[in-house]
Amino acid sequence: MTEIAKDPLLPGKAIITAIRQDTEDIKTYQVRDVNGGKPFDFEPGQCAMLSLPPAGEAIFSITSSPLAEMMEFSIKNVGRVTSEIHNLKVGDQIGIRGPYGTPFPVADFQKDDLLFIGGGIGLAPLRSVINYVLKKRDNYGKVDIVCGCRTCNDFVHYEEITEEWPQKPETDVHLTVDKATDDWTGFEGYIPDYLEELNFSPAEKKAIVCGPPIMIKFVVQQLKESGFDPADIYTTLELKMKCGIGKCGRCNIGSKYVCKDGPVFTAKELAGLIETF
């Protein structure tokens, strides 16, 4: 294990080894530890704290698969820390600690059909799970991936979504945008409306959802109206995480502390709480 993994509360040093500009305000950073390896082991859906003194630190979903030899983060420029991270270059150092939070129970998903639903930057944590599942393709049933963004220019990992994932066996990708351009050939409309049109059967299927809170609320509502059992609907509330270890008390939703109890929950576990998003 690397020095970083000995104490999850002590940031270690990581090196930025690649940067990709995904959209106007989102970049994906590939990081490795100082020895060239993965900073620490993690499971799909877990998060890490990135720090950049004196700007501060913030928690981010790990968007790469645990099976990859490095670690990736897709980061939207929305504040002081993310703005400073967007100024970094390949070869710069950044602090990192983790992993934090509960993962998606990928072992329990085996043999089931899987329906992934991601909105905007919410695809980032799902990408870790999707690439893990596609790497172990024989262990899982049919895979459907529904992605939605404001426009076609807002998709993160667009080439992977449109060129790599649809080539995998029994894997279909469904795209929608809020506002279509003249050359857009996919669906135009919000994700809940697209789900209603796609009309997925809930039989032997698990749904995994991530996106803005308001999207999660209406997607879960649509899935339940389609017959999905709330126990078979999973979501991650990593956007609510703050300190990552449940000490600051800023991540609570009702009786749940996202850092300690999540961020991965089923809709059954969040009964009565999703409606407050």
Taking 60 as the threshold, does the pLDDT of residue 4 lie above it? no
Going by pLDDT thresholds of 50, 70 and 90, the confidence category of residue 238 is confident
H/E element, 61: strand 56-61
In the chain, the percentage of residues whose pLDDT exceeds 90 is: 70
Taking 80 as the threshold, does the pLDDT of residue 241 lie above it? no
Taking 60 as the threshold, does the pLDDT of residue 269 lie above it? yes
pLDDT given for residue 236 in this prediction: 87
pLDDT given for residue 29 in this prediction: 97
Structure tokens given for 81? 């820390």
pLDDT given for residue 3 in this prediction: 47
152 labelled as ligand-binding?
Answer: no
pLDDT in tens, 10-63: 889 999 999 999 999 999 999 999 999 999 999 999 999 999 989 899 999 999
Tell how strand 205-210 and strand 187-188 pair up. unpaired
248 labelled as ligand-binding?
Answer: yes
pLDDT in tens, 103-121: 999 999 999 999 999 998 8
CA angle 6, 8, 13 (to 5 degrees): 80
251 labelled as ligand-binding?
Answer: yes
Exposed, middle or buried: residue 181 (CB in 10 Å: 0-12, 13-18, 19+)?
Answer: exposed
C-alpha closest to that of 124 among 207, 236, 18, 43: 236
pLDDT given for residue 6 in this prediction: 60
Specify the higher pLDDT residue, 241 or 224.
224
259 labelled as ligand-binding?
Answer: yes
For the segment 86-105, the average pLDDT, to the nearest whole number, is: 94
Going by pLDDT thresholds of 50, 70 and 90, the confidence category of residue 270 is confident
Please name the residues in contact with 106: beta carbons below 8 A apart, sequence gap of 6 or more.
43, 44, 129, 132, 133
- 35-44, 193-202, 251-260: segment of lowest average pLDDT: 251-260
What is the pTM (predicted TM-score) of this model?
A: 0.89
pLDDT in tens, 142-157: 999 999 999 999 999 8
H/E element, 100: strand 93-100
* 38 half-sphere exposure, CB direction, 13 A CA radius: 19
Going by pLDDT thresholds of 50, 70 and 90, the confidence category of residue 275 is low
